[in-house]
Amino acid sequence: MKKVMMGNHALSYGAKLARSQVIAAYPITPQTQVVELLSEMCSDGTLDAKFINVESEHSAMAACIGASVAGARAFTATSSQGLALMHEMLHWAAGGRHPIVMGNINRSMAPGWSIWTDQNDSLSERDTGWMQYYCASNQEVLDTVIQAFKVSERLMIPGMVILDAFALSHTYEVVDVPDQALVDKYLPPFKPEIRLTPSDPRAFGGLTGSEHYFELRYKLQKYMEKAPALIEETGREFEKIFGRNLGLVDAYRCDDADFVFVTSGTAGFTARVVVDEFRKSGLKAGNLRIKVFRPFPFAKVREVLKKVKKAAVVDRNCSYGAHGIFYQEVKSALYGEAGMPPVFGYIAGLGGRDITTDSFKEVAAHALAKDKADEEIVWIGVKK
């Protein structure tokens, strides 16, 4: 069934179709519609789940962890400051191997107060052990929530489905809402091997000495390493049932491209307008949208970029004292491999400043004029 819906509601529908059993959430702009709709669905019986109106995001994640260890499928959504408040519990969810799925609406961190998009909130949680999916359409948001539960529960690693504030969260698009019966076929009920129950009394997460801790974290990484193949496998399975592929990256006209914009989130679709224009004027351009940031699809990025002459990474984030974060990852993916293109790094759109077709043209003009990537940051659209 096709429906016109905002990105936030695509998250809600995803959580509903995945048959989330416990939802604990705290309101924050621009996430509120996600949980408003879920709260309604729980109260009118459309969704058989417990909705817990917690008093903070920290408690939201703690309650999701409790529900997950008890064997229930748990979902929450937040943004920015809320995600930062959860930080401790994000480590807990991943370290405890609780396959919670969470929506995060990318919103800039205060101060000053900003409700507009950039990626520094979610990228600050890079090393917590969560999988991160950056979405670019409302359809992809809904589909990815369902896929994320499948992948997370297989690996017992939590997953974060991420969308840009307003550019996606509050933008209405046509979304094909899958049939519940088909979703049930794709995503079986959550049945963890071990759970918190008096019939099998175990202590979870107790004092762990240096003779055990290292191995627990080693296993987390080893399972994370299984994720890229699993995301592709479950993406193909999704395509068989629903006709839409969910991969690690989304490469647009990259196959024969000389110049590629590397993007994430909604900015990629703007880049594609420029790619098409360039193609018409004879420049073989392309766009590589990195969807999955953790685990980072190193092999996939290498595979696409090895055929390219130049790549320009546009980051809507900044690791202060270093560079754009996707830029660093892309460089590290290519490092040491023969025949890789020079990679140029740009920062644009912090605090929700629009990244327009002109922004991409400015990026291209800079990169095409140079033979070698300088290490300094190239800022796009900043008033210096």
Contacting residues toward other proteins, per CB under 8 A:
21-22, 24, 49-50, 52-56, 58-60, 62-72, 74, 88-89, 92, 195-198, 200-209, 212
Q: How many CB atoms lie within 10 A of CB 356?
A: 17
45 versus 243: smaller Cβ distance to other proteins: 45
Cα separation values, 232 from 167, 238, 275, Å: 27, 10, 26
CA separation for the pair 15, 82 (Å, rounded): 19
Helix (H, G, I), strand (E, B) or coil at 173: strand
Overall size of the chain counted in residues: 384
Task: CB nearer to other proteins: give 62 or 260.
Answer: 62
Residue listed under structure tokens 């409302």: 138
CB of 328 to other proteins, least distance (A): 30
Name the minimum Å distance from CB 280 to other proteins: 55
Tally Cβ neighbours within 10 Å of residue 230.
18
Nearer to other proteins, 203 or 338 (CB): 203
Residue 234 neighbours by CB distance under 10 Å: 21
Question: Least distance (Å) from other proteins to the CB of residue 67?
Answer: 3
With beta carbons less than 8 A apart as the criterion, state whether 348 and 359 touch.
Answer: yes
HSE (CB half, 13 Å, CA atoms) of 159? 29
Residue 22 or residue 251: which is nearer to other proteins going by CB? 22
Report the nearest approach of other proteins to the CB of residue 112 (Å).
26
SS3 280: helix
Using only the alpha carbons of the chain, give its radius of gyration: 21
Cβ-based nearer residue to other proteins, 58 or 366:
58
Closest approach of other proteins to the CB of residue 211, in Å: 9
Q: Which is nearer to other proteins, 196 or 283 (CB)?
A: 196
Minimum CB distance to other proteins, residue 37 (Å): 19
